[in-house]
Amino acid sequence: MSGSAAPSSKREVPGSGSVEVVALLLLVEGVLLRSWIYVASPLPSDTPLAWFALGTAQDVAILAITGALALVAARWARRLAMALFAVVCILLGVVDFVWAQVVAYFAHAPSREDLSTAVELVVFIRSIDIAMISRVLLGASAVGALLIVVVRRYRGRAWWVTRARLVCVGAGALIVALAPLRVHLASSAANPAVAVARLLLERGSLPPIQPVSQPASPQDTTVRSLAPRVPPLEFTDSDFPLAHRPPPRSAGALTLPTGLKPNVVIILMEGVRAHEIGAYQGFPPGVTPSLDQLAAKGIVCLDAMSPGTRTPEGELGVWYGLLAIPDRILITSNPNVPLTGLPEILRRAGWRSFLWMHNGDLTFYHRDRFFDVRGFTTIDGRQFDQTDPFTNWGFSDRSLFRRALVALDHLKPPFAVELLTVSNHHPFQLPGDALGRYGMPEGLRLVVPPDIKTLRGRMTLAMLQTMHYTDAAVGEFIREARRHTWFGSTVFVIASDHGLPITPLDGLPTAHSFAILRHGVPLIFYSALLPGGRVIPGPASVVDVFPTLTGLFGLGAVTPAIGRDLLDPAAFDPDRAVISWDSEARRVTLRTARRCYEAEVARQGGYAELSDELLVDPAADPRGLVNLAEREPALVWSFRRTAKIFLDVYPNEVLSGRAVVPPMGGPDRPQ
């Protein structure tokens, strides 16, 4: 009887040795890949042990549960069960490797918003370079080949693995993985299977949109607290709570001759952040000589912030004074939503031509559906000479500005134009028409840490080259524009859509300085009509461009603008909070002249929940090493209230069509 007994539970299924060895290899792979993510990311987790533990626990839970199921199925169909387990493990290993490259390269894990708009896939395709393709293909092939060899080699029984042990280990790991622990940047540590499951289960996070015809509830007027308080605003309609009549400008405000209708040219640069710009005390020196000269001869706004971390958020900030809409790309998801902004107000005041011009693809983010209905002529890279220099993302910035000079000559003045660059975008390819390369001063090379030069600096140094290229292209455009008849009656606004999550050369960012890297942008007004050498104290925002131009032009129109008139010193309020939203990190930033508040955002029952709150003194503590939240609870409460109004009330006002001048029955189309 004893000779015919079933195998012991310790070595119960032939072929289970592959379960044991493959699971061990996948766990080792997970640790190595997370180490890669941690080292390569510009902002590593500030809870590294918990970060590693969370991801490893997810790996263990998935592998243990998968292995236990395979061993159970092997009791009845051993070969099929082991074959399926081998296939699953090989796929897990390959997907783990590819996922780690994506997270490390783009500095964030894809969100539901990315997938729902099909944007992140395009970003990935256009941002990859040969080095990345080679690394992903070779690495994924090596991982798959290794696991295949292991599966074929270890077909015997396991030494330790049993169904009962796998179930126990899997259950314990699952408890750890689901524990409500604070883990900074948990999404970048997640096992790809867990990340995908989270995306599939993630529900819409915005409150329901109310029809425009419904009257606003009393609570909706709380959104007015986001508007400037100095000078006090005269709000005009409770059903459209943002609409207000701008106060009279003070005697110290910059003005233009009465009746003058200047042209407007908005140069919106892709990803050019203030951190490397000399006019903003940037490092390293010499990256942006053209912008530095324009700032010195024009009007530079200090501590300027982007409303979001995506290009359309910067565009809507400039044209419509709109803050970012969390979890929504308005241009893509709601292209026909009624809005009142610069296009509508300028058109009513007599501006004749509106042009949107980009050296990339207009249909990216479906901008055509947004700008066409608002009366813009649109030109994109598909209308460029196909022999012009180009990169993954479109034709070169020099090509854009060279063709813009021709296009502007054909517009009927006064005109309003946006020129949107693209060359300073992942993967930071230097176009073929670059006139030179940025050379970092020799003496500075000794102070750059070795890891910055190698691993972390791979994208940083490339970014400096393309930023230097875009700077040169802007400078060349302004120099050439001086020869055209429209230059003397044109106001140029030079800004950036957002910053970039790329490690700076002067050290690894903290959570606070990372937020400034993502949102700190240049904002320069330049014109022969304006005095030069002016510096506007901050903080400022890209959303301030709209009310600044309407104030400068003396239009006095009722607007729903959130921003302030930067050229009127009486409109400066040191306690006014400039609001920015980081869609990847899901963090909100509120910055005043004295304090900067940041918090992580989650959704509970459709409403925002704030956690990981940080309050810093940006002047005394620019890296944000000291959290003042416990010392200043009243100020934290005030910031928290403003943040929740921005997150819970403001989106509904915009998406329901109330960010307009009443009455409005539909999109404000040109007549």
Least confident of 97-111, 257-271, 441-455, 610-624: 441-455
CB atoms within 10 A of CB 510: 18
Output the average pLDDT for the chain: 84
Mean pLDDT of 550-576: 93
Residues 6+ apart with CB under 8 A from 429: 129, 391, 392, 423, 462, 466
Mean pLDDT of 90-98: 84
Is 282 a residue whose pLDDT tops 90? yes
Of 64-68, 326-330, 363-367, 442-446, the range with the highest mean pLDDT is: 326-330
Strand partners, 615: 597
Where along the chain do the CATH 3.40.720.10 domains lie?
250-573
**Residue-by-residue DSSP string for 589-656:** EEE-SS-EEEEEEEEETTEEEEEEEEEE-TTT-TT--S--TTT-HHHHHHHHHHHHHHHHTHHHHHHT
Q: How confident is the model at residue 670 (pLDDT cuts 50, 70, 90)?
A: very low
Q: How confident is the model at residue 51 (pLDDT cuts 50, 70, 90)?
A: confident
Q: What is the 3-state secondary structure (H, E, C) of 435-457?
A: CCCCCCCHHHHHHCCHHHHCCCH
Q: pLDDT tens digits for 404-446?
A: 999 999 999 999 999 999 999 988 999 999 998 998 777 765 5
Whole-number Å distance between alpha carbons of 631 and 628: 5
Whole-number Å distance between alpha carbons of 109 and 186: 10
pLDDT, residue 667, reads: 44
Is 63 a residue whose pLDDT tops 80? yes
- φ/ψ of 297, rounded to 5, equals -95, -10
Is 205 a residue whose pLDDT tops 60? no
Q: Does 133 or 69 have the greater pLDDT score?
A: 69
The secondary structure of residue 431, as a DSSP letter, is: P
Q: What percent of the chain has pLDDT over 70?
A: 83
Mean pLDDT of 523-537: 96
Reply yes or no on domain 250-573 having CATH 3.40.50.150. Answer: no
Strand partners, 245: 234
Mean pLDDT of 495-516: 89
For residues 477 and 399, the answer to whether their CB atoms sit within 8 Å is no
Mean pLDDT of 593-604: 93
Mean pLDDT of 346-370: 90
CA angle 138, 143, 145 (to 5 degrees): 90
pLDDT, residue 309, reads: 94
Of 238-247, 249-258, 265-274, 382-391, the range with the highest mean pLDDT is: 265-274
> What's the Cα-to-Cα distance from 100 to each of 29, 431, 634, rounded to whole Å?
10, 28, 41
> What's the Cα-to-Cα distance from 170 to each of 535, 558, 667, rounded to whole Å?
60, 62, 55
Q: Does 507 or 625 have the greater pLDDT score?
A: 625
Cα–Cα nearest to 520, from 538, 506, 508, 493: 538
Mean pLDDT of 284-305: 97
Q: pLDDT tens digits for 435-484?
A: 989 987 777 655 555 555 555 566 888 899 999 999 999 999 999 999 99
pLDDT, residue 123, reads: 56
pTM: 0.83
Q: Where are the beta strands (DSSP E) in 371-414?
A: 377-379, 390-391, 394-395
Q: What is the 3-state secondary structure (H, E, C) of 216-281?
A: CCHHHHHHHHHCCCCCCCEECCCCCCCCEECCCCCCCCCCCCCCCCCEEEEEEECCCCHHHCHHHC
Torsion of CA 402, 407, 409, 413, to 10 degrees: -130
Strand partners, 604: 607
CA angle 18, 20, 24 (to 5 degrees): 110
- φ/ψ of 669, rounded to 5, equals -85, 155
Mean pLDDT of 517-543: 96
Q: How confident is the model at residue 525 (pLDDT cuts 50, 70, 90)?
A: very high
Mean pLDDT of 653-661: 87
pLDDT, residue 319, reads: 97
Q: Tokens 């400034």, residue?
A: 516
In the numeric block, which tokens belong to residue 314? 């910067």
Number of H helices, E strands in the chain: 21, 18
pLDDT, residue 160, reads: 65
The secondary structure of residue 38, as a DSSP letter, is: H
Mean pLDDT of 292-307: 97
pLDDT, residue 620, reads: 96
Mean pLDDT of 566-577: 94
Is 382 a residue whose pLDDT tops 70? yes
Residues 6+ apart with CB under 8 A from 511: 43, 46, 184, 598, 614, 624
Mean pLDDT of 386-401: 92
Is 150 a residue whose pLDDT tops 80? no
Strand partners, 378: 356
In the numeric block, which tokens belong to residue 63? 């592998």
Strand partners, 579: 590
Mean pLDDT of 580-589: 92
For residues 536 and 299, the answer to whether their CB atoms sit within 8 Å is yes
Q: How confident is the model at residue 137 (pLDDT cuts 50, 70, 90)?
A: confident
Is 217 a residue whose pLDDT tops 70? no
For residues 230 and 573, the answer to whether their CB atoms sit within 8 Å is yes
Cα–Cα nearest to 264, from 479, 472, 552: 552
Of 30-34, 190-194, 302-306, the range with the highest mean pLDDT is: 302-306
Mean pLDDT of 371-384: 89
Mean pLDDT of 355-375: 87
Cα–Cα nearest to 578, from 271, 303, 329: 303
Mean pLDDT of 87-100: 83
For residues 544 and 566, the answer to whether their CB atoms sit within 8 Å is yes
Mean pLDDT of 361-373: 84
Is 564 a residue whose pLDDT tops 70? yes
- φ/ψ of 577, rounded to 5, equals -95, 120
Is 278 a residue whose pLDDT tops 90? yes
Q: Does 537 or 671 have the greater pLDDT score?
A: 537
Torsion of CA 608, 611, 615, 618, to 10 degrees: -80
Q: Residue 167 CA to chain centroid, in angstroms?
A: 41
pLDDT, residue 155, reads: 60
Whole-number Å distance between alpha carbons of 367 and 361: 9
Mean pLDDT of 285-312: 96
Cα–Cα nearest to 458, from 496, 421, 422, 505: 505
pLDDT, residue 213, reads: 39
pLDDT, residue 67, reads: 80
> What's the Cα-to-Cα distance from 215 to each of 78, 222, 241, 615, rounded to whole Å?
66, 15, 10, 37
Mean pLDDT of 527-553: 96
pLDDT, residue 17, reads: 60
Q: End-to-end CA distance of the chain, in Å?
A: 96
